[in-house]
Amino acid sequence: MTDVARIEVSPEFAGMRLDAFMAAEGLYPTRSAAAKCIADGCAALNGKIARKSATVAEGDVLEYETFEDPHAPALEAVEIPLDVRYEDDYLLVISKQAGLVCHPADGHYGDTLVNALIAHCGRENLCDVQGEQDRLGIVHRLDKDTSGLMLCAKTNEVGLALMEDIRTRDVDRHYLALVQGWIPLETGLVDAPIARGDRDRLRMKVSDRDNARPSITTFEVKRRFEPGRNDDGYTLIDCKLYTGRTHQIRVHMEYIKHPCVGDPVYGWQKKDNLGLDRQFLHSYKLAFTHPVTGERLEFEDTLPDDLQCVIDELDARE
C-alpha cells in the first residue's frame, strides 16, 4: 500500500521545478520518476493537485505518494557490528565504519546501516521521517567510505528536531581530511553551490545552475607534510560543515585544487595516495543539544586504523 507523506519547501529550493525538487530531496530516485508521480495526480502542492510545470516556493507544502520500488526487497534485520558511542530512548550516536552504506540503494539492500539499526533497536523503535521503506533511523548521512560519528533517531519527534537543528546549523559537525598539496593559509572558507553532474548523475560538482544548492565549508589547517616547490605534499585539515550536501567536502576540496587523498571519484589518481583506496575523510567531532533533555552533548572520535597508519607513515618519512 502506498503511503502519503508531507514536506515543507525550505528556502534553498525556492524557484525549482517540482519534479527537480522531489528528486533533489530524495523523495523519488530520479526526476523522471517524480514527473510521473506528478503526471499521475499523486502530488499536491498547498492542497491542490500539482501540474507538471509547477515550481516551488519557500514554505510551500507538498503532499505526495511515497515511492515504492517494486524490485526492492523488504528491509530485514541484519547483525552488522555497530560502534555505539551513546544511546538512550530517543537517539543514538555511532561511529560508522568505512564501507558501510547508510541506507538501501542499487546493489545494497541487506548490508546497510538501516539493516544494522533494525537489528539493534527493532523496526518499531526507529524514526521514519526520511522514509519508512528504506531510511529507518536516518536523519543525516555519511558517504559509504567516509567513517566517523553520526546521529540516528528512534522517534519521529526527535528525528524531525535533529533534522531541523542540522538545517539551522545547531549541530556542530567537524571532519578530518588529508588533502593533496600544501595549503599555505591557516584557515579558509569555500562558499560554492553544488549540483548533480550532467553526464554522471552519481558525481556532484560546483555549479552556477539555478538548481545548484548553497554549500558552505570552512577549514582550519592542523598539520602539513612534505612541502615541495610545486605545491606538493599533504595538508591535514579540520573541515566544518555549514550545509550538508552530497559529497560536499570532497567536491569543495576538489574545487580548490586540494582533493582528499585516496578519493576514487574526485581525487588525483596519478598522485601518491599513500596506499589508500578510499578518501581520507573522517567525521571526528559532533556536538548537539539533546531535543528532549536539553543537554549539550559532545563527542570526539579517533582516526580508524587505516587513516592513522597514513599519518604514522608521513611522520616516519619526515
Interatomic CA distance for residues 95 and 270, integer angstroms:
31
For 307, the grid coordinates are: 587513516
How many Cβ atoms are within 10 Å of 238's Cβ, its own excluded? 16
The helix (run of H) or strand (run of E) holding residue 42 is none
Interatomic CA distance for residues 118 and 125, integer angstroms:
8
Helices (H) and strands (E) in the chain, counts: 6, 15
Nearest to 261 by CA among 246, 247, 276, 251: 276
Nearest to 241 by CA among 298, 317, 166: 166
Q: Is 66 exposed, middle or buried (0-12, 13-18, 19+ CB in 10 A)?
A: middle
Residues 149, 284: contact at Cβ < 8 Å?
yes
For CA atoms 15, 16, 19, 24, the dihedral sign is negative
- Which residue among 143, 145, 263, 301 is the active-site one? 143
What is the DSSP code string of 229-286? TTS-SEEEEEEEESS--TTHHHHHHHHTT-PBTT-TTTS-TTS--TT-SS--EEEEEE
Q: Is residue 238 annotated as a catalytic residue, yes or no?
A: no
- Residues with catalytic roles: 143
